[in-house]
Amino acid sequence: MNPYKKLATTLDNRMSGHAASAITGLPAELGTMTAGGLKLDRFKHEIADYYVADWMAKLHLPAFTLGGSVTGLTSGSGAVTGQGAFAFGESVVEDVRLEFQHGLKSGDRVLAIPINDGNDAVIICKVVK
């Protein structure tokens, strides 16, 4: 047998093993929201008491215009009502909290990380196709 081929095969097997062990440190998996909690694809029991990630972000809003109506404003001595366009300038809002826990419904697919030997899970986000 070609010694170089044997060396290449041995290196390939060892690298595959190292790559597999590196990935096992990232246990995220897909699950489905149910009426009673969370059902992970690779865990046979439903998790009733799960956690949901809480995200803080900086929101960048571009300049935009919205059409709408105005009522209840006064100008001088008279009321101002009617249709109009409302122009908003570009802005940045700090510390915006992204809370999607209340938007999760039965049947929604989610990405979760099992914790505590699979007894609990942290939902990272909703997954859509």
In this prediction, residue 22 carries a pLDDT of 42
Per-residue 3-state assignment (H helix, E strand, C coil) for 10-50: HHHHHHHHHHHHHHCCCCCEEEEEECCEEEECCCCCEECCC
At 47-68, the pLDDT tens digits run 999 999 988 899 999 999 999 9
At 68-96, the pLDDT tens digits run 998 888 888 888 888 989 999 999 999 99
In this prediction, residue 129 carries a pLDDT of 86
Top-confidence residue, 39 or 21: 39
At 7-16, the pLDDT tens digits run 666 656 665 5
Question: Please, what is the average pLDDT of the chain?
Answer: 82
Q: How far apart are CA 87 and CA 85, in angstroms?
A: 6
